[in-house]
Amino acid sequence: MRIAANFKKYIVVTSFCLLALSCNNETRAEKSGQIEIENEYLKYVIDPDGTNAGFIDKKIGTDYCLMQPASKFARVIKADKEYEASSVVSDNGKMTVQFADAAVTAVIEVVAKKHYLTFKVLSVSDEKIHGLVFTNISLTGKSTIEDEFAGCALALNLKTNVNEMPGANKKIQATCYSRFGLVGAKAAIIGCPKDELRNVLKEAVSAAEELPHSPLGGPWALDAPINKESYLFASNVTEQTVDSWVNLCKQVGIRQVQFSGWSSFIFGECRPNPTIYPKGIESMKAVVDKLHAAGIKAGMHTYACFINKSSTYVTPIPDPRLAKDGTFTLTEPMAAEGNNVAVAETTKDVPTFAGWDTRTSVTIQIDNELITYTGANKQAPFAFTGCTRGALGTKAAAHGKGAKVYHLKEVFYCFVPDQNSTLFTEVAEQTAKTYNECGFDMIYLDAIDGADVFAGRNNAWYYASKFVFELSKRFKKPA
């Protein structure tokens, strides 16, 4: 999760924790041949060959760096192989790191803050590498509340991936990838007394210009009473039923009502369901206002960045920015009738089933028509079979030979915006618009665990975070 705060634009965001270190003892580093990086709480030591040599609690002198096995503080990933740092030289806060076996050089800026350090990638000689691990430290200790000293990493922008949650961690690691940009990736490295960890995280997050900030999230979350209240899912909170929901909440001491997305919203455009909110935003806001008048907060349950099949992005004309994961070509003209779609490319690997836990669909698109299918010829002549024409409210039509046939992406029975298109950010914009105009207090980004549908599990961290970043830019009050 990336979690952060800016008191003009607020939101709880998914946050990836990264360690911040400082670099200010050049004279001593030169004498010993080591690079010593220290602030008020921490001394971090790197040997000239890039080996981690110390992660020291300055208050009591305990070294938490795991020495066996030894580890290098940086490595590159190139052509599916990993290469560790071979040498590192520091000059005026800039570390030049050589990866001799990969023929790669990286320059990393290290800045000492009072309570944390920042590492920022300034350059990489070969931008075609897959990735760069620019902070990598393993710690001893239990990494629990029993430890007196805590270390962690905090990602300071969207280019930076930190797998561990913010908190006392045994692994301090930050990685960037050429896919999302190497130069500019930035992380904070923290080593501090356990009881000061949240305060240091607050400092680092508040100073991070590229992170969205929320006084209700991240290191502030434990301070906010709203995060300690119970809430319930409500599937039919309307102007006619809201009084009964208020009475129920008061009887059992629940302080928040969450509007269940499957019945309340059309996912994607986040338009209130017209069957229960006939005046749209006006009807939903009236319900939220009544909850507020009774001292009850309102939550908005969405399916993150995904799109309901009844959305106007799907029907009656599919938005061209819906994500596809396969392209085929019609081998013959098609009439507006018929239940087979003959294509030139092989269909032996196309799915013929789509379920809740799958990451695929049984829907294809030709021009403005959506077609569902139940089977596929696995050998030539290739074709989608058992087709339902004009599916999901689109119009069955004739199509010419050579027309493109697109296979749509799907997750949790929802379609997917192309992650590189404006539709991705438009869904965030529509979600924030409903949140703002209705006056919601909380948002539940259900289904964000489906972000692997965009570009695989290894890249899910980025697209989940990107969606939350886009939301954060648009929220008018903290969520």
Would you give the DSSP letter of residue 161?
B
> Roughly how many angstroms between the first and final C-alpha of the chain, as a whole number?
15
CATH 3.40.630 fits 26-209, yes or no: no
Mean residue pLDDT across the chain: 91
Measured CA to CA, the distance from residue 451 to residue 261 in angstroms comes to: 18
Average pLDDT of the residues in 368-379: 97
Closest among 305, 336, 333 to 443, alpha carbons compared: 305
Question: pLDDT tens-digit profile of 254-305?
Answer: 999 999 988 999 999 999 999 999 999 999 999 999 999 999 999 999 999 9
- 8 Å CB contact between 349 and 364: no
Would you give the DSSP letter of residue 65?
B
Distances (CA, A) of 35 to 121, 170, 296: 17, 22, 55
Structure pTM?
A: 0.89
Average pLDDT of the residues in 40-58: 97
| DSSP codes joined into one string, 383-403 | EEES-BTTGGG-----B-TT-
CATH classification number, 229-307+419-468, choose in 3.20.20.80, 3.50.50.60, 1.10.3720.10, 1.10.10.10:
3.20.20.80
Looking at residue 212, its pLDDT comes to 87
Structure-block tokens of residue 317: 């004309």
Measured CA to CA, the distance from residue 471 to residue 3 in angstroms comes to: 13
Helix and strand tally (H, E) in the chain? 8, 28
Measured CA to CA, the distance from residue 390 to residue 372 in angstroms comes to: 9
Confidence of residue 1 (pLDDT cuts 50, 70, 90): very low
Q: What percentage of the chain has pLDDT greater than the value 70? A: 92
Would you give the DSSP letter of residue 478?
-
Closest among 1, 45, 56 to 192, alpha carbons compared: 56
Structure-block tokens of residue 329: 């070509």
Look-up: residue for tokens 């102007």? 239
Task: List the strands of the sheet with 404-408, edge to edge.
Answer: 324-329, 404-408, 363-366, 369-372
Classified as helix, coil or strand, 342 is strand
Structure-block tokens of residue 427: 């869904």
Domain ranges across the chain: 26-209, 229-307+419-468, 324-408
Question: pLDDT tens-digit profile of 29-48?
Answer: 444 679 999 999 999 999 99
Q: In the predicted model, is pLDDT for residue 470 greater than 50?
A: yes
DSSP bridge partners of 383: 342
* 285 backbone dihedrals φ, ψ, rounded to 5°: -65, -35
Whether 229-307+419-468 and 26-209 are alike in CATH topology: the answer is no
Q: In the predicted model, is pLDDT for residue 23 greater than 60?
A: no
Looking at residue 12, its pLDDT comes to 32
Measured CA to CA, the distance from residue 361 to residue 183 in angstroms comes to: 37
Looking at residue 235, its pLDDT comes to 86
Measured CA to CA, the distance from residue 170 to residue 64 in angstroms comes to: 9
Looking at residue 254, its pLDDT comes to 95
- 8 Å CB contact between 2 and 465: yes
Q: In the predicted model, is pLDDT for residue 8 greater than 70?
A: no
333 alpha-carbon distance from chain centroid: 43
Looking at residue 66, its pLDDT comes to 95
Question: pLDDT tens-digit profile of 79-119?
Answer: 989 999 999 999 999 999 999 999 999 999 999 999 999 99
- 8 Å CB contact between 409 and 307: no
Strand extents, DSSP E, 22-128: 35-38, 42-46, 52-57, 75-78, 81-84, 87-91, 94-99, 104-112, 117-124
Cβ neighbours of residue 175 under 8 Å, at least 6 residues apart? 131, 132, 133, 134, 160, 161, 162
3-state SS of 202-233 is: HHHHHHCCCCCCCCCCHHHHHHCHHHHCCEEE
DSSP bridge partners of 38: 43
Confidence of residue 400 (pLDDT cuts 50, 70, 90): very high
Question: pLDDT tens-digit profile of 408-451?
Answer: 999 999 999 999 999 999 999 999 999 999 999 999 999 999 99
Looking at residue 32, its pLDDT comes to 62
- 8 Å CB contact between 356 and 372: no
Question: pLDDT tens-digit profile of 305-357?
Answer: 999 999 999 999 999 999 999 999 999 999 999 999 999 999 999 999 999 98
